[in-house]
Amino acid sequence: MKIKKNINFGNYSKQINKRRSFICGIKGPLLKKKEINFLRTYKPWGIILFKRNIKNIKQTTKLTKQIKNIFEDPYYPILVDEEGGRISRLTNIIDNSLFSSEFFGKIYDHNKNKLNYYLEVYINQISYLLKTLGININTSPVLDIRRKKCHNIVGDRSYGSNPKKISKIGDLVIDKFHKNNIQTVIKHIPGHGLAKVDSHLRLPIVKKNLKYLLKNDFLTFKRKKTLLAMTGHILFEKIDNKNCATLSKKIINIIRTRIGYKNIIVSDDISMKALTSNIELNAKKAFIAGCNIVLHCNGNLKEMKIIAVNSPVLNHFLIKKTYQIFKNLS
């Protein structure tokens, strides 16, 4: 039965309660038969698209429509990393390289009123394109603090080095995407800015204490009106010297209590090299730590099956929050 716009929570719950708590990528611009069978069998919470999946408007629209038809859900979660600047998955369609977070941060420094206008024009256009393509969730904004002598993995993806400034711009970005019916994902909670290595390749270790972090890196994520947050694979040595944030009960508890984030926590890509255990163990640890959804991006079907069988079906909390996302999109 197709999910309709005016469906109530009880009926919506029945429609999605067999979905599983993971988001996965796919290999190419078209779904292969094995991928279709996988989606029908394991029913991921959502799909994330990358440049490899997005060749042009016609092809991408066909792809997202096919995904939504599999789940009989016109509002099925389809995500993309469209931060602007160097992190853009839409480069086959649009050149978005000028509009980095740094670009908007500099406008804020010169003229706060002008920033509101620039953001409005930019986000309205990006949202229109995303909706045209059938994408309904953008994994943005990045709320990490830019630091000197730290790895450039954050760099110009950050709005700047002042946590209060980052927080204010983040609020504007979230609000403007939501007004365009595009949901947002704040990242990389509780903060990636102090990393001195790239977590795609190695595990960053941060030595600052909790008191410092609460006033700085963790501050940017407070009071954010978004239903989704993505973790960073960072080891905060003085809080938990054994587990990175994604796999740490202590850090997830701080996110819930001290930062005060009460909505869906999604892991960063569980196949990144910062996580040294195997895929299965990484997924299990992330759920045990308190992540609600595990993200797996590379489209490797063998790995995806491992993630799928180790991801629980949606619990009441996830169904309730997913319904809120659905209502915001519909």
Higher pLDDT, 272 or 61: 61
Q: What is the pLDDT of residue 150?
A: 81
* Residue 213 confidence (pLDDT): 97
pLDDT at position 277 over 90: no
**Residue 267 is part of a domain; what is its CATH number?**
3.20.20.300
pLDDT band at 158 (very low <50, low <70, confident <90, very high): very high
pLDDT higher than 80, residue 285: yes
The confidence band for 97, taking pLDDT boundaries of 50, 70 and 90, is: very high
User: Does the pLDDT at position 280 exceed 60?
Assistant: yes
Task: Flag whether the pTM goes above 0.85.
Answer: yes
Domain membership of residue 60 (yes or no) is yes
Give residue-wise pLDDT tens across range 316-326: 999 999 999 99
Residue 163 domain-assigned (yes or no): yes
Instruction: For helices 33-42 and 57-70, give the axis angle rounded to 10 degrees.
Output: 40
Percent of the chain, pLDDT > 70? 100
* Least confident window among 131-145, 190-204, 227-241: 190-204
Q: How many domains does the chain have?
A: 1
Domain annotation covers residue 4: no
Whether the CB-CB separation of 266 and 295 falls below 8 Å is answered with: yes
Q: What is the mean pLDDT of the chain?
A: 95
Confidence at residue 1, expressed as pLDDT on a 0 to 100 scale: 52
Q: Express each pLDDT in 5-30 by its tens digit.
A: 889 999 999 999 999 999 999 999 99
Give a yes or no: residue 1 inside a domain. no
Q: Is 225 inside a domain boundary?
A: yes
C-alpha distances out from residue 162 to 69, 128, 159, 165, Å: 44, 31, 8, 5
Q: Is the pLDDT of residue 103 over 90?
A: yes
pLDDT for the residue 199: 78
Dihedral sign computed on CA atoms, order 52, 58, 63, 67: positive
CA dist list (Å): 142 to 34, 58, 73, 138, 156: 34, 29, 29, 11, 10
- In a domain? residue 167: yes
* Whole-number pLDDT of residue 273: 84
311 close to 270: Cβ distance less than 8 angstroms: no
Please indicate, yes or no, if residue 159 is contained in any of the structural domains. yes
Q: Report pLDDT for 311.
A: 98
Strand partners, 269: 295
Q: Which two tokens stand for residue 33?
A: 């038969």
Max CA pair span of the chain:
54
Q: What is residue 262's DSSP assignment?
A: -
Residue 168 and residue 245: Cα distance in Å, rounded? 24
CA distance 323 to 153: 33
Range(s) of the domain holding residue 250: 9-329
Arithmetic mean of pLDDT, 112-124: 95
In a domain, 3, yes or no: no
The mean-pLDDT minimum among 121-125, 268-272, 275-279 falls in: 275-279
Residue 184 in this model has a pLDDT that exceeds 80: yes
